[in-house]
Structure 1
């Protein structure tokens, strides 16, 4: 074999958005540089546009009836499958996190392990949260009064800054575990773990449109999501204080549910059930006794 035939070009990866179970380029054709903390170039990430955000909402709304109508047990199986597939890509995520955050391999590996465990945690909660959030209510009369949780709908999520995998999973998993669908705006400084996670989701039996991943500027993508009639709730965990105020004002016109942590979250801590109930509505049914 000659020297020339032995040499070959590297196949550089083209990262794309994740919308409706497919991997389109941004309709704008824009990209931006993703670099390490010390400025080394890693990849080009798509710079999503307002139209990409609207397309993601359409996909999430279309997927909502089937996903919310699935049994809680089935949703748990799919979330566990995500954990399995993420485990199979452990080394890839470890390398991405080490590059994105400038940390050593051991610390990056621990973050990947924690993200896998977080998927398993929420997989186990899918068929149990109704017992925690629901109730049989005492009433004065010949009636049964039952309250049960139901998913809110389409949730737009601004992913946490500085925790591109564990933090992302910690805000995304409880949204879909309870039957909602999601439009996720990834951390713009470290979007590659989110885009690689999208590839995991696409091969984990998760129906297309349940999770849609956008990369780009939250200040550009947030307003069309906050003002969209088909978005039912916002998670502003990763929004800056000024952006969060603007998005809350935009969301007020369509009466969206807002989740905005007032203090920084420690995603390595026990997640509890707070996020599981953040995007649940309560349906109460009265039924006469003896009829």
Structure 2
């Protein structure tokens, strides 16, 4: 027998996450990411967390993270941690099904429909994975998908792609030029303790680069953004990483991201503008691609946004999807 349940509000959602092991399809559905975002960002976003879960006796329990917004008399449901997350998808309680049973798309659609009716809310989802169960479920409810953002990925199992990033002629030239000034080295903070020590320097570097730009998304300001990053970094299950490229003792560039299921997700980057002519961000990417490929990482996911530097790389592109559904009649 299937059963639909809701965990409404920050306390109830956090208690559910604390009590269960969560298998995430991307780093933006890990228990660590959800728990940190609920604790630090939800109030600032005017969002009430809602975890919708469909419990099955013959398969895994699926969990959909949503957030409820109230705009006057209009209720709106979006994916949990929108617009911070680059991907939205379902999670599962426990480990993936050992029998290989696929997700119950019809049951998932029923759970989402029940949630909409419970809150009398319109559903607006973006950045859904095109091959994922969440998009399939809302499509079954009658939503018409359309492209959202484009994402870019590097196939690190392809040696030609790895060489195409790390051994580009212009990169070799810039690497030789900057190495006349000192020794380049790549570091990676991958524990909560290491991340806590290094995150302030990354935030300072990012603020120097992006602080005065009008196109900055969610800038660090000493407030909720800084606290949320710190909270995510403090959660071991978030799989957060901070890679840094150094010239001797000078920090040239950093990339805050996540290593999840043999994929590296590049989330936010910054570099030292005083070394801009040597493209420290590109040099960091080249060093990371080489190291991650050697460590057995399959994919370097550059995430959403058609920025110029992504188009210069030998990456493949794919759309994420948006789907909406009008407010149904309340139960």
Q: Indicate the structure with greater strand content.
A: 2
Normalising by structure 2, what TM-score? 0.24
Normalising by structure 1, what TM-score? 0.27
Q: Indicate the structure with greater helix content.
A: 1
